[in-house]
Structure 1
């Protein structure tokens, strides 16, 4: 492995989170950085950095030693890594691929095995926290990799995260990330119900959050989703919509089925967010679930598609 100053970082996927992460890497890494995205406008986030724009995945693979991915889900990761024009298909291949996306556990393990057969090391390293945390380089990163690879990539992950946890072998990063997300989504529904209940019983929602935040009911969800979104009833587009929630919950339910665990609370949350997507809040920030609760909307029947 080259010294850190000689390592060229590749980055694929410059969306809301990926663009911020790539920018931090470009500003902090002593070596070269090359990026690829199919959206021309996505590269504006890298203005003022040393990042070179790759013309294709093959171009990026021809230069980068370690490639980071920030993509919509497992199918995109598989296409970018293993597809006909993917990172593993050219004459020169990166030594390491690190997936920062959220995928199924099975997908992470299948991609890792397929890349290993091509002599490419792989780690799943999904990220948590907000877009603002990504911009500040303060994400929480949950890594699935063998110990040796974790030691190699941890310093680079520190460019984008303040908390980097080695969760176990390939796939274990996704297990922890999916559980983290499920808890956030479930807690958001629970908080929304209690905010509506409190208001109907005569307590101002702001007063409720102030009081609860001083007791054992305080939480990340209360301080962030509750105060910043549900209290002012602001649910912007181009944030994290219910469709993304349903994707992640679907991954959790798939894992639960594979492991034989009954996840009834997660199933109920799926129904809430299905209703949110169907009843006027598609594409809007997912804490809009409070609006469904406030108007006593009917939930999507269990097992129905959003």
Structure 2
């Protein structure tokens, strides 16, 4: 199916916050690109203006492409797009490679991989590190799960959207790694939120906390983006929804349960995110968990920043 330029034809399903930048960089890398969007036309129209073709279904994408990317909110969506009546498997030919960049449930990934292999389709898990900003710049972190032969085929394509590529191991292993990464990240988020509230209650302002911690050994990139919202009120600091974060921590908890591992921290981390979902604010971004934890403590974090000014 490869184009006259000898490059495989690439499909992309899910051109949201992360997917748009990834798909754009694949297209700019000189690949023929097919996309399937969702309700939001803006990213789709932008990709079409760059020469992408639009498909109406996952089936149409599969039948026109050699390598298909999926970038969706969770495993339920992934299972639907692969198994559905107009799904990928309905249009797949032998030799198709599917790269799932969703932060998915590894149990689901491994079951899908087995099912797809029966049709000669190879599943690759390639979840992402970093934010939509890096997606647009083509410098995401990619964790990849697949065999060595498949890795050789997909690496040049992943290279279009990733700055760092780690081949973690066989299929499913990258999704496991990603759950560990997001357990740590959301754990940090919960810790920072609680520390900000505790600080404010005992007279340490949010900006003073940042000033002391940022240059210390406890500072890190996640701390910086989190505080960019908590202190500077930059709403776009980390455009990752609490609903998605909560799902990732839930998957990490499931992974711990399945592995028979004590998950005291994992279950504690989960509750702040579950709380925000429970009060109907799951579409807020991750750093905003700081505001919600402050409210639980009778504080307004924005006011605390002003007071500390």
Same fold by TM-score greater than 0.5:
yes
User: Cα distance, 1:86 vs. partner?
Assistant: 1.3
Tell me how far apart the structure 2 counterparts of residues 274 and 48 of structure 1 sit (CA, whole Å): 40
Q: Greater relative contact order: 1 or 2 (C-alpha under 8 angstroms, separation 6 or more)?
A: 2
- Alpha carbons 1:127, 1:142 under 8 Å: kept: yes
What is the Cα-based RMSD across aligned positions, in Å? 2.3
Give the secondary-structure state (helix, strand or coil) at the position aligned to 1:89: helix
Give the secondary-structure state (helix, strand or coil) at the position aligned to 1:271: helix
Tell me how far apart the structure 1 counterparts of residues 223 and 208 of structure 2 sit (CA, whole Å): 13
Give the secondary-structure state (helix, strand or coil) at the position aligned to 1:159: helix
| Aligned twin of 2:141 | 140
| Aligned twin of 2:285 | 285
Name stretches of at least 5 consecutive residues in structure 1 with no aligned partner.
Answer: 299-306
- Alpha carbons 1:237, 1:284 under 8 Å: kept: no
Give the secondary-structure state (helix, strand or coil) at the position aligned to 1:39: coil
Give the secondary-structure state (helix, strand or coil) at the position aligned to 2:168: strand
User: Cα distance, 1:165 vs. partner?
Assistant: 0.5
Tell me how far apart the structure 2 counterparts of residues 172 and 195 of structure 1 sit (CA, whole Å): 35
| Aligned twin of 2:214 | 213
Query: What is the correspondence of 1:58-137 to structure 2 with a 5 Å cutoff?
Result: 58-90=59-91, 92=93, 95-137=96-138
Give the secondary-structure state (helix, strand or coil) at the position aligned to 1:167: strand
Tell me how far apart the structure 1 counterparts of residues 230 and 263 of structure 2 sit (CA, whole Å): 26
Q: What is the CA deviation profile of residues 81-112 of structure 1, one whole-angstrom value per residue up to 9, with x for unaligned ones?
A: 22222112137466211111111011110111
Name stretches of at least 5 consecutive residues in structure 2 with no aligned partner.
Answer: 299-309
- Alpha carbons 2:109, 2:125 under 8 Å: kept: yes
- Alpha carbons 1:236, 1:284 under 8 Å: kept: no
User: Cα distance, 1:276 vs. partner?
Assistant: 1.9
Q: What is the CA deviation profile of residues 130-186 of structure 1, one whole-angstrom value per residue up to 9, with x for unaligned ones?
A: 111111111111111111111111111011110110111111010110111111111
- Alpha carbons 1:64, 1:94 under 8 Å: kept: no
User: Cα distance, 1:242 vs. partner?
Assistant: 2.0
Q: List 4+ stretches of structure 1 deviating above 6 A.
A: none
User: Cα distance, 1:274 vs. partner?
Assistant: 1.4
Give the secondary-structure state (helix, strand or coil) at the position aligned to 1:6: coil
Tell me how far apart the structure 1 counterparts of residues 258 and 59 of structure 2 sit (CA, whole Å): 36
1:166 aligns with 2:167: yes
| Aligned twin of 1:254 | 254
Query: In the comparison of the two structures, how many residue pairs are matched?
Result: 296
Structure 2 length normalisation: TM-score? Answer: 0.88
| Aligned twin of 2:304 | none
- Alpha carbons 2:125, 2:175 under 8 Å: kept: yes
- Alpha carbons 1:133, 1:139 under 8 Å: kept: yes
| Aligned twin of 1:39 | 39
Structure 1 length normalisation: TM-score? Answer: 0.89
| Aligned twin of 1:304 | none
Query: What is the correspondence of 1:177-256 to structure 2 with a 5 Å cutoff?
Result: 177-226=178-227, 228-233=228-233, 235=235, 239-256=239-256
Q: Which moved more, 1:245-254 or 1:194-203?
A: 194-203
